[in-house]
Structure 1
Amino acid sequence: MKVADPSKTQNTYTSDEAYQKSLDYFNGDDLAARVWVNKYALKDSYGTIYEGTPDDMHHRIAAEIARIEQRYPNPLSENEVFDLIKNFKYIIPQGSPMTGIGNPYQIASLSNCFVIGNDGDSDSYGGIMKIDQEQVQLMKRRGGVGHDLSHIRPKGSPVKNSALTSTGIVPFMERYSNSTREVAQDGRRGALMLSVAIKHPDSEDFIDAKMEQGKVTGANVSVRIDDEFMKAVESGKSYQQQYPVDSKSPVYEKEIDPTVLWKKIVYNAWRSAEPGILFWDTIIRESVPDCYADLGYKTVSTNPCGEIPLCPYDSCRLLAINLFSYVEKAFTKEAYFNWELFKKHIHAAQRIMDDIIDLELEKIDAILQKIADDTENEELKRTEKNLWINIQTKANEGRRTGIGITAEGDMLAAMGLRYGSDEGSEFAVEIHKTIALEAYRASVTAAKERGAFTIFDADREKNNPFILRLKEADAQLYYEMLEHGRRNIALLTIAPTGTTSLMSQTSSGIEPVFMPVYKRRRKVNPNDKDARVDFIDEVGDSWEEYVVFHHRFKQWMEVNGHDLTKNYAQEELDKLVEQSPYYKSTSNDVDYIKKVQMQGSIQKWIDHSISVTINMPADVTEEVVGELYLEAWRSGCKGVTVYRDGSRSGVLISNTETKAEPEQTENPALPFPTTRPTVLEAEIVRFQNSKDKWIAFIGLVEGKPYEIFTGFADDEDGILIPRWVNDGLIIKNREADGGSRYDFQYKNKRGHKTTIEGLSYKFNPEYWNYAKLISSTLRHGMPIEKVVDLINSLQLDEAINTWKNGVARALKRYVPDGTEAKKQQCQNCNSTNLHYQEGCLTCNDCGSSKCG
Structure 2
Amino acid sequence: MEQTTKKVEKQKETVKEKKVYTQEEAYSSSLNYFKGDELAARVWVSKYALKDSYGNIFELNPDDMHHRLASEIARIERNYANPMTEEQIFEVLRDFKYIVPQGGPMTGIGNDYQIASLSNCFVIGHDGPSDSYGGVMKIDQEQVQLMKRRGGVGHDLSHIRPKGSPVKNSALTSTGIVPFMERYSNSTREVAQDGRRGALMLSVSINHPDSESFIDAKMTEGKVTGANISVKIDDEFMKAVIEERDYIQKYPVYSEEPKNVKQISAVKLWNKIVYNAWKSAEPGILFWDTIIRESVPDCYADLGYRTVSTNPCGEIPLCPYDSCRLLAINLYSYVVNPFEKDAYFDYELFKKHVAIAQRLMDDIIDLELEKIDAILEKIASDPEDNEVKGVEIRLWEKIKAKAREGRRTGVGITAEGDMLAALGLRYGSDEAVDFSVDIHKQLAVAAYGSSVVLAKERGAFKIFDVEREKNNPFIARLKEASPEMYQEMVKYGRRNIACLTIAPTGTTSLMTQTTSGIEPVFLPVYKRRRKVNPNDKNVHVDFTDEMGDAYEEFIVFHHKFAIWMEKNGYDVHKRYTNEEIDEMVAKSPYYKATSNDIDWVAKVRMQGRVQKWVDHSISVTVNLPADVSEELVGQLYIEAWKSGCKGCTVYRDGSRSGVLVSNKDKKTDGGAMPAKRPKELDAEIVRFQNNKEKWIAFIGLYDGRPYEIFTGIADDEEGIMLPKAVTDGKIVKNTDEDGNSRYDFQFSNKRGFKTTVEGLSYKFNKEYWNYAKLISGVLRYGMPINQIVDLVAAMEFDNENINTWKNGVERALRKFIPDGTEATGSVCENCGSKSVIYQEGCLICKVCGSSKCG
What is the TM-score when the length of structure 2 is the normalising length?
0.79
Q: CA RMSD in A?
A: 3.4
AA matched with 1:677: M
- Partner residue in 1 for 2:345: 337
- Partner residue in 1 for 2:573: 565
- Partner residue in 2 for 1:546: 554
- 2:794 is paired with a residue of what secondary structure? strand
What is the correspondence of 1:194-205 to structure 2 with a 5 Å cutoff?
194-205=202-213
AA matched with 1:350: Q
1:59 aligns with 2:71: no
Equivalences, count: 721
CA distance, structure 1, for counterparts of residue 377 and residue 815 of structure 2: 46
CA distance, structure 2, for counterparts of residue 572 and residue 23 of structure 1: 29
1:405 aligns with 2:413: yes
Instruction: Please state how far the C-alpha of 1:399 moved relative to its aligned partner.
Output: 0.2
**Residues 688-713 of structure 1, C-alpha deviation per residue, up to 9 Å, x if partnerless?**
xxxxxxxx94389xxxxxx999659x
Instruction: Please state how far the C-alpha of 1:612 moved relative to its aligned partner.
Output: 0.5
> 1:683–1:193: structure 2 CA closer, same or farther, 3 Å change rule?
closer
1:375 aligns with 2:457: no
**Residues 200-252 of structure 1, C-alpha deviation per residue, up to 9 Å, x if partnerless?**
00000000001036310111000000000000000001100000003111111
CA distance, structure 1, for counterparts of residue 239 and residue 290 of structure 2: 13
CA distance, structure 2, for counterparts of residue 605 and residue 494 of structure 1: 11
- Partner residue in 2 for 1:443: 451
**Residues 373-400 of structure 1, C-alpha deviation per residue, up to 9 Å, x if partnerless?**
2231111111111111111110000000
Instruction: Please state how far the C-alpha of 1:550 moved relative to its aligned partner.
Output: 0.7
Which deviates further from its counterpart, 206-215 or 351-360?
206-215
Residue among 672, 675, 680 paired with 2:781: 675
Instruction: Please state how far the C-alpha of 1:186 moved relative to its aligned partner.
Output: 2.7
Partners of 2:822 and 2:836 within 8 A in 1:
no
CA distance, structure 2, for counterparts of residue 448 and residue 6 of structure 1: 40
Residue among 126, 132, 138 paired with 1:118: 126
1:321 aligns with 2:329: yes
- 1:250 is paired with a residue of what secondary structure? coil
Partners of 1:731 and 1:744 within 8 A in 2:
no
1:135 aligns with 2:143: yes
CA distance, structure 1, for counterparts of residue 104 and residue 545 of structure 2: 45
Percent pairwise identity: 67
- Partner residue in 1 for 2:684: none
- Partner residue in 1 for 2:716: none
AA matched with 1:554: A
Partners of 1:732 and 1:741 within 8 A in 2:
no
Instruction: Please state how far the C-alpha of 1:733 moved relative to its aligned partner.
Output: 3.5
1:599 aligns with 2:607: yes
> 1:741–1:170: structure 2 CA closer, same or farther, 3 Å change rule?
farther
CA distance, structure 1, for counterparts of residue 605 and residue 446 of structure 2: 24
What is the correspondence of 1:84-233 to structure 2 with a 5 Å cutoff?
84-212=92-220, 214-233=222-241
Structure 2 gaps of 5+ residues are 1-6, 660-667, 676-774, 797-802, 845-853
Instruction: Please state how far the C-alpha of 1:7 moved relative to its aligned partner.
Output: 2.4
- 1:427 is paired with a residue of what secondary structure? helix
Which deviates further from its counterpart, 218-227 or 45-54?
45-54
> 1:165–1:680: structure 2 CA closer, same or farther, 3 Å change rule?
closer
Instruction: Please state how far the C-alpha of 1:94 moved relative to its aligned partner.
Output: 0.3
CA distance, structure 1, for counterparts of residue 376 and residue 289 of structure 2: 36
CA distance, structure 2, for counterparts of residue 682 and residue 368 of structure 1: 46
Residue among 278, 282, 287 paired with 1:279: 287
1:427 aligns with 2:429: no
> 1:8–1:597: structure 2 CA closer, same or farther, 3 Å change rule?
same
Partners of 2:530 and 2:832 within 8 A in 1:
no
CA distance, structure 2, for counterparts of residue 209 and residue 189 of structure 1: 22
Partners of 1:93 and 1:318 within 8 A in 2:
yes
Residue among 449, 452, 467 paired with 1:459: 467
Residue among 767, 787, 794 paired with 1:698: 794
CA distance, structure 2, for counterparts of residue 761 and residue 504 of structure 1: 24
- Partner residue in 1 for 2:33: 25
CA distance, structure 1, for counterparts of residue 223 and residue 814 of structure 2: 20
- Partner residue in 1 for 2:536: 528
**Residues 506-525 of structure 1, C-alpha deviation per residue, up to 9 Å, x if partnerless?**
11001000000023455664
Partners of 1:177 and 1:219 within 8 A in 2:
yes
- 1:321 is paired with a residue of what secondary structure? strand
- 2:301 is paired with a residue of what secondary structure? helix
- 1:489 is paired with a residue of what secondary structure? coil
AA matched with 1:275: P
- Partner residue in 1 for 2:299: 291
CA distance, structure 2, for counterparts of residue 361 and residue 538 of structure 1: 52
Partners of 1:649 and 1:757 within 8 A in 2:
no
CA distance, structure 2, for counterparts of residue 684 and residue 76 of structure 1: 55
- 2:201 is paired with a residue of what secondary structure? strand
Instruction: Please state how far the C-alpha of 1:536 moved relative to its aligned partner.
Output: 10
CA distance, structure 1, for counterparts of residue 789 and residue 220 of structure 2: 32
AA matched with 2:837: T
Which deviates further from its counterpart, 24-33 or 613-622?
24-33
Instruction: Please state how far the C-alpha of 1:9 moved relative to its aligned partner.
Output: 4.3
Instruction: Please state how far the C-alpha of 1:17 moved relative to its aligned partner.
Output: 2.2
- Partner residue in 1 for 2:308: 300
Residue among 247, 255, 258 paired with 2:263: 255
1:35 aligns with 2:43: yes
> 1:742–1:372: structure 2 CA closer, same or farther, 3 Å change rule?
farther
CA distance, structure 2, for counterparts of residue 76 and residue 267 of structure 1: 53
- Partner residue in 2 for 1:755: 837
CA distance, structure 1, for counterparts of residue 842 and residue 171 of structure 2: 33
Instruction: Please state how far the C-alpha of 1:647 moved relative to its aligned partner.
Output: 1.1
Partners of 2:786 and 2:817 within 8 A in 1:
no
- 2:159 is paired with a residue of what secondary structure? coil
Which deviates further from its counterpart, 746-755 or 296-305?
746-755
1:583 aligns with 2:591: yes
> 1:675–1:536: structure 2 CA closer, same or farther, 3 Å change rule?
closer
> 1:67–1:213: structure 2 CA closer, same or farther, 3 Å change rule?
same
- Partner residue in 2 for 1:348: 356
**Residues 164-209 of structure 1, C-alpha deviation per residue, up to 9 Å, x if partnerless?**
1000000111111111111111342111100000000000000000
> 1:103–1:243: structure 2 CA closer, same or farther, 3 Å change rule?
same
CA distance, structure 1, for counterparts of residue 180 and residue 779 of structure 2: 40
AA matched with 1:132: D
1:49 aligns with 2:57: yes
CA distance, structure 2, for counterparts of residue 426 and residue 574 of structure 1: 28
Instruction: Please state how far the C-alpha of 1:141 moved relative to its aligned partner.
Output: 1.2
- Partner residue in 2 for 1:238: 246
Partners of 1:650 and 1:756 within 8 A in 2:
no
CA distance, structure 2, for counterparts of residue 223 and residue 457 of structure 1: 32
Partners of 1:682 and 1:730 within 8 A in 2:
no
Partners of 1:518 and 1:750 within 8 A in 2:
no
- 2:626 is paired with a residue of what secondary structure? coil
Instruction: Please state how far the C-alpha of 1:8 moved relative to its aligned partner.
Output: 4.8
CA distance, structure 2, for counterparts of residue 538 and residue 168 of structure 1: 47
**Residues 148-174 of structure 1, C-alpha deviation per residue, up to 9 Å, x if partnerless?**
000001000001111110000001111
AA matched with 1:569: T
- Partner residue in 2 for 1:471: 479
Partners of 1:741 and 1:758 within 8 A in 2:
no
